[in-house]
Structure 1
Amino acid sequence: MKEIRIIGVPSDLGQGRRGVDMGPSAIRYAGLEAALKHLGYQVKDLGNINVPTPEMHEQAQNAKLRYLNEVKAVSESLCGMVSTVVSEGHIPLVLGGDHSIAIGSLAGMAQSSTNYGVIWFDAHGDMNTAETTPSGNIHGMPLAVSLGYGHDDLISIGGVTPKVKPENVVLVGIRSIDADEAKLIAKAGIRCYTMSEIDQRGMAVVMEEAIQIATNGTDGIHLSLDLDALDPTLAPGVGTPVNGGVTYREGHLAMEMLSASNAIVSVDVVEVNPILDEQNRTALMAVELVESLFGKTVL
């Protein structure tokens, strides 16, 4: 059984609403490490990446790439930590923070190999660029960056571009896509399972196909788990909630199927915002899903 290394990235630089920088603490407080140890894993918490607060950087910004330099610096630091963890034969479990942190996670993975699949469990596509973004928030761009679309300062992190192959990338739970973002998803040729398709075909069928796509000829799967993939009634503490999301059982079934695949090599858990939460419900939900991902079963 591989060992797990927890890395916190308390960043809200890529997000328009404050508070997601407290996500790593909320998830830890919800009992993540104890839950994983109970499942039999050896776990070591490597602490947090040093992340500047937005108030430290009041200089003029690029309105289409807010906090670009700061996001780049955080991503480079995370890239180095993830790369080291993977080289030591362990599984990096990265706690966000907003979803821009996935730029660093995937860059770190790519330093050892670009031959892995990605399942992006999210309400959003995160496939915007500076040319298409309506907000300028980089948390809407990490998948595009990892596929080689976007600003040179971001796509070059880790020294490998692109980080992943589009034929092994899958979006699951999607229900909020910008018009130009949809065009880039189609251009890239990545498979996108919307909530409508999940409704029609069922989560089991969708995840069976998603796992097959992400593992086809690859060395494993990176799961990027955005808590806003879940319905806001289950996960109210997220910055960009979208109604009509993944249900409790659908979420756990997806994680259970990923666990059964024995293909998980790295994980991001992102967008938990305690300020917007109710009694840490969203962080507790995150821990429950991670437990299912790493093998918790009823019997």
Structure 2
Amino acid sequence: MLHQNPNPSLWTGRKSETIEYWHQAAISVRDLQLDEGQQTPKVGILGYAGEEGVKRNQGRLGTAEGPNAIRKSLGMLAFHLPEKSRIFDYGDIYTENSDLESSHDLITKTVLELLETKHFPILLGGGHDLALAHGKGIYQHLASKNQKLGIINMDAHFDLRPTIDGLGHSGSPFLQLAQENKDTFQYLCLGVQRSVNPKSLFKTADEVGAKWMVMEDFRLNNWEVIQEKILWFLDSVDKIYLSVDMDGFSSAFAPGVSAPSPMGFRPEFAFKVFELLASSKKLISMDVVELNPAFDHDHATARLAARCAEYVARKVLGLL
């Protein structure tokens, strides 16, 4: 089985007699035995300790260590989720012998089970190829409900590149999802940088009906236009899957990524978007991907990734 049980020792931080920090609230669960209780708001954390997709896409290796780095930073954060909330750490799914597809199959199956058992899934990457497996699980969950999924990707890249000899990679997940869900694919990419996306990818985005905002327009002084575009997209779908690629942030804040860029968005602006998405009550799953601890400085990127996960969880569960 391509699964590694969680390591409780990663969840450390300040001590207190009551639950005041995430490390005190996190429950490590072995062998993917998902909690099936329906009574309390709950987060299901699942790591993707894989970088085969990054390797295939000629990126910098090291993202396999991302999930544990995020856990370490999450554990130290103050706990402000609703009092009865539960946080379950279900460990990591990894890739063996370059068999990306088998690890994806297990991720898809687990995401479906997390949603069916009323978790708010937070997946930690790992390469952005995770989005293909993650998205498949959500599509399967919504199929029986006849609900339309909208995907919002905060990223410097479209990740709409073609597969390589039929094999997916960290640059192709959303094209693969578009091809598998031709009639229902709804995709909004925020923070796209022209300098790292050739004209052919903008053409592909048009062909699959994607929407986007380039980095030049994705700034705080343009908030009214951005808000209108996001709200229009939210109104067109029933549920939202949020994917946060850490390389979408400026490398001043997120140096530890596979493909750093000095021209990305700022954290406070990204969090403004998170709040808008959470307030819609349509956000049902998220992932934080492409953290590469090998290139991080003073855990800055890991801390930011953890803050993204904590903030979204706090806002989503606070509305339940």
Q: TM-score, normalised by structure 1?
A: 0.81
Say which of 51, 67, 76 aligns to 2:105: 76
The change in CA–CA distance for 1:200 and 1:273 in structure 2 (over 3 A counts) is: closer
**Amino acid corresponding to residue 66 of structure 2 in structure 1:** G
**Amino acid corresponding to residue 185 of structure 1 in structure 2:** A
Q: Matched residues in 2 for 1:262 and 1:125: separation?
A: 25
Q: Is the 8 A contact 1:132 1:181 kept in 2?
A: no
Q: Which residue of 1 aligns with 2:203?
A: 183
Q: Does 1:245 align with 2:264?
A: yes
Say which of 85, 97, 114 aligns to 1:85: 114
Q: Is the 8 A contact 1:27 1:283 kept in 2?
A: yes
Q: Is the 8 A contact 2:51 2:63 kept in 1?
A: yes
Q: Which residue of 2 aligns with 1:61?
A: none
- Tell me which protein shows more helix as a share of its residues: 1
Q: Matched residues in 2 for 1:226 and 1:90: separation?
A: 22
Q: Which residue of 1 aligns with 2:214?
A: 194
Question: 1:239 aligns to what SS in structure 2?
Answer: coil
Q: Does 1:220 align with 2:243?
A: no
Q: 1:60-116 CA deviation, whole Å, 9 max, x = no partner? A: xxxxxxx5xx12111101000001011112111110001001111011111112521
**Amino acid corresponding to residue 178 of structure 2 in structure 1:** L
Say which of 129, 132, 157 aligns to 2:162: 129
Q: 1:244-263 CA deviation, whole Å, 9 max, x = no partner? A: 11012211211122222222
Q: Which residue of 2 aligns with 1:102?
A: 131
Say which of 90, 113, 117 aligns to 2:142: 113
Percent sequence identity is 27
The structure number with the bigger radius of gyration is 2
Question: 1:147 aligns to what SS in structure 2?
Answer: helix
The change in CA–CA distance for 1:131 and 1:80 in structure 2 (over 3 A counts) is: closer
Q: Does 1:21 align with 2:21?
A: no
Q: How much has 1:195 moved relative to structure 2?
A: 0.8
Q: Is the 8 A contact 2:220 2:269 kept in 1?
A: no
Q: Matched residues in 2 for 1:290 and 1:105: separation?
A: 16
The change in CA–CA distance for 1:111 and 1:288 in structure 2 (over 3 A counts) is: same
1:239-278 correspondence runs (5 A): 239-278=258-297
Q: Which residue of 2 aligns with 1:6?
A: 45
Q: 1:267-286 CA deviation, whole Å, 9 max, x = no partner? A: 01100110000111101011
Long gaps (5+) in structure 1: 58-66, 149-160
Long gaps (5+) in structure 2: 1-39, 316-320
RMSD across aligned positions (CA): 2.5
Q: Matched residues in 1 for 2:273 and 2:229: separation?
A: 11
Q: Matched residues in 2 for 1:211 and 1:47: separation?
A: 34
Q: TM-score, normalised by structure 2?
A: 0.76
Q: Is the 8 A contact 1:169 1:214 kept in 2?
A: no
The change in CA–CA distance for 1:244 and 1:258 in structure 2 (over 3 A counts) is: same
